[in-house]
Structure 1
Amino acid sequence: MKKYIPLLALSALSLCSCADFLDVQPEGNPATTSYFLNDEQAIDAIDGLYAPIHQEKGFGRELFWEQGAACDIVWAKTRGYNSLATFDYTGNEDPIKGGFDLFYQNMARSNWIIKQLLDKEKKSGLSAIEHRSLGEAFFMRGMAHFWIAYRYGTKEQGVPFVRYEDFEGDYDNSIPPQQASVIDDYKYIIEDMDKAISYLPKFEEYTDDDKGRPHKAAAVAYKAKVYAYWATWDATQWNNVITMVNSLETDYNRDLADTFAEIFSSDFKDFWNKEYIWSIPSNGGSSGGGVEFVGVILEDKGWGVYNGWGQIKPSYDIYEEMVKDGVGNERLVRSILEYNQEFQFFGEKRKFYSDTNLDVGFQINKYMDPFKHKDADKEGYVNTNGNWPTARINFPLIRFAEMLLFRAEAYLMTDQPGKAKEDLNRIRKRSNLTELTENPTMADLYHERRCELAFEYTDHLFDLKRWHRSSNAEIKQLAEKELNASPRIRKYADRSNPESSFTIKPYGDYKVKSTYKDYMMVFPYPYDQITKSNGKLKQNDGYN
């Protein structure tokens, strides 16, 4: 099977953007005067949008460090930016600053492609490939904008954004204006996703070589997420969430995969299951690519077999939440490795234990399927280069279960608990969990969303932050409790003995945590961006 589009390397295309999107100096003219002369050039331009987001400062690793401020994961290796886990944000922490640059670069590149293709469409029309490429650019601009908007924008103050196509002639390289409210940003994102839908094909219309590219249903799913975050400030948007998820079912035939394990399978035939919406298809072998996250979470040095990095481990808190559904339940076992749990590693049956780094007693199991195969690296399941530990897995960015959880939340927030129960029970039934018999509450929603989506890039921390502003007292209280708690771990008496006894203790790397306040819902802008803006970028309230 070929490597799908998100695996491709960065395009050599030189675009009119720089790392500091607010740089007040003119950026000059891009070396692109002869671009979009044929389909291959359009493909090259679009491919340059994908690779950056799954590299290390994107979904490969860096964006996940901030989850240490919730209670589902611990870092398991000492880092130099504990402020991400204690709410003492500066805005200059390398992981969030790198992500800030990454997504604004992506917006600028998308902007340029959109402008060029719209101009060509007016002058001479577009080929089928260029038509699709324009949809991909609208999708990627909306996706990048969303990641910035909800992480930095509030109702009182939006984030900087500009559309190149709104300028007569070429973009004048001015500093993007800061929107008055994040709601204005959300409106722009919805417009981009609507444009994407009008240009993109359905997933089923792609050939195998192009699966992994955005498609109509992926844009609809992002609209659902945008409306859910918008509902933080305007509760009427919950109705739009319901409409979007309904459309995914009726118009695009999205559904749950038959089994929980199928979603995280290392078998290519399972990649494009019913639950798939958008992902980063990854691979191993000597030329594998995709996300290194699967190697980042593996035991450091992989018990002498493979170079795992030993970072980002489950806490006792998320284990405790999952075990409420019964010891050894299917979702728990498939999500978390605990001491003495059997698993396959390079063809050998093992019992899990941890022998390096900060011992926490657990490891993420969701993405371990590629490592079960004998000679996993030589057979193409795991990258032969342990310094870039990608593996064959369809790493989800959006899957249909998340959409059901958003719709269930919307039903609860619009006083339709019976319909919420149906959606939650679909998820529970798939993992052979006891179905709910009474109408659910927001506490049930909290449990299901936290457990089903654990260790995925669905942003549990920002779930807590938006819930902390909810009008529902129950979910607000649960969010406040977790935001102000510190994660716990299992401390084993003998780390090398899978059957060793343990005690439950606070994680030792960042014990002192600031009391959470509402302004911490968003990050502060990097200081250098404030300086370079010459007063055009206002820092978020609560930060110096």
Structure 2
Amino acid sequence: MKMYKYIVAVGLLASVLSSCSEFLDVQPEGNATISNYFQNDQQAIDAVTALYQPLHKETSYGRDLFWEQGGACDIVWGRTRSYNTLATLNYTGDESPLSNNFNLFYELMAKANWVIEQLLDKQTASGLTDIETRSLGEAYFMRGMAHFIIAYRYGTTDQGVPFVRYEDFADGYDNSIPPQQASVVDNYEYIIEDMDNAIAYLPAFEDYEAADQGRAHQAAAVAYKAKVYAYWATWDESQWTNVISMVNSLETTYGRDLASSLDEVFSSDFDNFWNEEYIWSIPSTGGSNGGGSEFPGVILENKGWGYYNGWGQNKPSYDIYEEMLKDGEGNDRLVRSILEYNQEFEFWGETRNFYSTSDVEAGFMINKYMDPFKYADADEAGYVNTNGDWPTARINFPLIRFADMLLFRAEAYLMTGDAASAKTDLDRIRNRSNIASLDHTPTMADLYHERRCELAFEFTDHLFDLKRWNRSSDATIKALANAELNAHPRVRQYEDRSDPESAFVIADYGDYQNKATYQDYMMVFPYPSNQITKSNGALTQNAGY
């Protein structure tokens, strides 16, 4: 795969060493060369900052990773996209969101590999400063994170994904093609090792000064270990016990807990960014130099009712609204997650009643990330980016929060026969949103409902939850997952879309109707065809494609 040589020869030289004066300032101030690098702490900081920057890109958590979720039934998006195969499960591997992210996360792995190799060499030769030690932990963490995103999306027990560690080459990495691991389990073992190394070198979150909050920390690495074990359990159910122990550690050793409300989790107040529920996120900002994830602006009503350049993409379906409605009309979680017609909300200093004339007709809009937009002159006041072509907003965009971890532990309890403990975790999440405790012994159907509703519109990857559940030994969740994978989303269609009180009908969404019947091989994506060609036989395409 020439891709790897390109990364080493060009990507590293051109972009790995952009400098940055403060962690939340994601705008590069200049580039440096790699000769005689790691001579001081600032160079270590600059090198590691380059590992975080890809997470802020439109091609990753800005929006491209979210297009895939059209293959489930929680969101809809428009026919104008050239990759509707992501929603119909007719994958080619060459869809730009897939191929771009494949390249992006392998580039991130290569950059992290280089930082690890250089710092380990320096550690052997002369030792590391405290900042360099932290930087080594950050590089291990980012390599493991990027590796995991590729591994579960492309790897099976029949064949894993390509991976190599530069530090395993005694004379330095020789730019050879990384081997395709025999099984995704081999990849998961490497990721666990990286997260263990990250824990050994990283500080706890509480040990960071304010300017460095948001960097990788020990609890985030423990949380990724929990996620890895949960995906590993798809192939080996004995791993569920490891999920339980990891989440226990987050709770007891690291003091993670649920925040007081979803309002606190999705607050635009910097003081709420680092609440007890926070584990790992993309800290995002507004103002004239805003950074982070642009997703809040991507999902905002197209043109923002004349106030802001919202893009109007990725709308909730009637299906996820209906699922949330099972907990009662107007329940806190539903209201905080989804805007429906005639619902009151604050926008640009006004109380409005929601309606949508966006080009994507759904009858709903995602509400989780709307807090920064409620202020009068939200752009001038610094809550949203003054550049509407990059509509970031002041919110701590979550990648892992403790509710996600509780749901993994509840799933692990159910899969290991401890329904009583699962009920405790599920009720904690329900009660936080003032939803009554379960009145029965929970089953995996309850886990399906709670995970789907609590984490809706976050990149916890609902689509791949469905795909791993479709392989579950539990018949209940297997049937629920298979039903959603083979369903087509529904929406509300209004007689007068500009009237919040207009009558509506519930209808099948009109776009991308030719959805394929889900088959087991679709659990993973196909590799981009150009990577197969460039590999000269070293990369084997996933079966079925």
What interval of TM-score do these two structures reach, taking the shorter chain for normalisation?
over 0.9
| 8 A contact 2:76–2:317 mirrored in 1 | yes
Report what 2:303 is aligned to. 301
Q: 1:6 to 1:479 in 2, by over 3 A?
A: farther
CA deviations over 1:102-154 (Å, ceiling 9, x no partner): 00000000000000000000000000000000000000000000000000000
Q: Which amino acid aligns with 2:454?
A: E
CA deviations over 1:197-236 (Å, ceiling 9, x no partner): 0000000000000000010000000000000000000000
Report what 2:242 is aligned to. 240
Alignment equivalent of 1:435, drawn from 405, 412, 437: 437
CA deviations over 1:27-86 (Å, ceiling 9, x no partner): xxxx51210000000000000011111210010000000100000000146211110011
Report what 1:22 is aligned to. none
Q: 1:449 to 1:127 in 2, by over 3 A?
A: same
- CA distance in 1 between counterparts of 2:35 and 2:356 reads 55
Q: SS at the partner of 2:406?
A: helix
Q: SS at the partner of 2:203?
A: coil
Q: 1:171 to 1:13 in 2, by over 3 A?
A: farther
- CA distance in 2 between counterparts of 1:165 and 1:294 reads 39
Q: 1:217 to 1:283 in 2, by over 3 A?
A: same
Q: Does 1:360 align with 2:362?
A: yes
Q: SS at the partner of 2:407?
A: helix
CA deviations over 1:466-521 (Å, ceiling 9, x no partner): 00000000000000000000000000000000000000111111111100000000
| 8 A contact 1:52–1:58 mirrored in 2 | yes
Q: SS at the partner of 2:506?
A: strand
Q: Which amino acid aligns with 1:542?
A: G
- CA distance in 2 between counterparts of 1:508 and 1:124 reads 64
- CA distance in 1 between counterparts of 2:389 and 2:207 reads 36
Report what 2:7 is aligned to. none
Report what 2:201 is aligned to. 199
Residue 10 of structure 1 deviates from its aligned partner by: 4.8
Report what 1:27 is aligned to. none
CA deviations over 1:163-210 (Å, ceiling 9, x no partner): 000001220000000000000000000000000000000000000000
Q: Which amino acid aligns with 2:334?
A: L
Q: Does 1:5 align with 2:23?
A: yes
Residue 12 of structure 1 deviates from its aligned partner by: 5.2
| 8 A contact 2:55–2:282 mirrored in 1 | no
Q: Which amino acid aligns with 2:421?
A: K
| 8 A contact 1:10–1:52 mirrored in 2 | no
Report what 1:343 is aligned to. 345
Q: Identity of counterpart residues, as a percentage?
A: 71
TM-score between the two structures when normalised by the length of structure 1: 0.95
| 8 A contact 1:489–1:504 mirrored in 2 | yes
Residue 3 of structure 1 deviates from its aligned partner by: 9.5
- CA distance in 2 between counterparts of 1:11 and 1:237 reads 44
Report what 1:315 is aligned to. 317
Q: Does 1:45 align with 2:47?
A: yes
Alignment equivalent of 1:496, drawn from 495, 498, 502: 498
The farther-off stretch of 51-60 and 202-211 is 51-60
Residue 330 of structure 1 deviates from its aligned partner by: 0.3
Alignment equivalent of 2:465, drawn from 463, 477, 482: 463
Q: 1:397 to 1:54 in 2, by over 3 A?
A: same
Residue 299 of structure 1 deviates from its aligned partner by: 0.4
Report what 2:450 is aligned to. 448
Q: Which amino acid aligns with 2:109?
A: M
Q: 1:254 to 1:200 in 2, by over 3 A?
A: same
Segments of 4+ moved more than 2 angstroms: 2-7, 9-14
Q: SS at the partner of 2:351?
A: strand
Q: Which amino acid aligns with 2:73?
A: C
Q: How does 1:256-295 map to 2 (within 5 A)?
A: 256-295=258-297
Report what 1:397 is aligned to. 399
- CA distance in 1 between counterparts of 2:419 and 2:511 reads 41
CA deviations over 1:221-256 (Å, ceiling 9, x no partner): 000000000000000000000000000011000000
CA deviations over 1:264-285 (Å, ceiling 9, x no partner): 0011110000000011111111
Alignment equivalent of 1:119, drawn from 81, 100, 121: 121
Q: CA RMSD in A?
A: 1.2
Q: SS at the partner of 1:325?
A: coil
Q: SS at the partner of 2:346?
A: strand
| 8 A contact 1:334–1:366 mirrored in 2 | yes
Q: How does 1:203-214 map to 2 (within 5 A)?
A: 203-214=205-216
Unaligned runs of 5+ in 1: 15-30
Report what 1:527 is aligned to. 529
Q: SS at the partner of 2:324?
A: helix
Residue 9 of structure 1 deviates from its aligned partner by: 3.0
Q: Does 1:101 align with 2:103?
A: yes
TM-score between the two structures when normalised by the length of structure 2: 0.95
Q: SS at the partner of 1:350?
A: strand
Residue 5 of structure 1 deviates from its aligned partner by: 2.3
- CA distance in 1 between counterparts of 2:517 and 2:292 reads 37
Q: 1:266 to 1:10 in 2, by over 3 A?
A: same
The farther-off stretch of 407-416 and 283-292 is 283-292
- CA distance in 1 between counterparts of 2:21 and 2:116 reads 26
| 8 A contact 1:71–1:487 mirrored in 2 | yes
Residue 527 of structure 1 deviates from its aligned partner by: 0.4
Report what 1:505 is aligned to. 507
Report what 1:370 is aligned to. 372
Q: Which amino acid aligns with 2:430?
A: R
| 8 A contact 1:278–1:399 mirrored in 2 | yes
- CA distance in 1 between counterparts of 2:318 and 2:152 reads 28
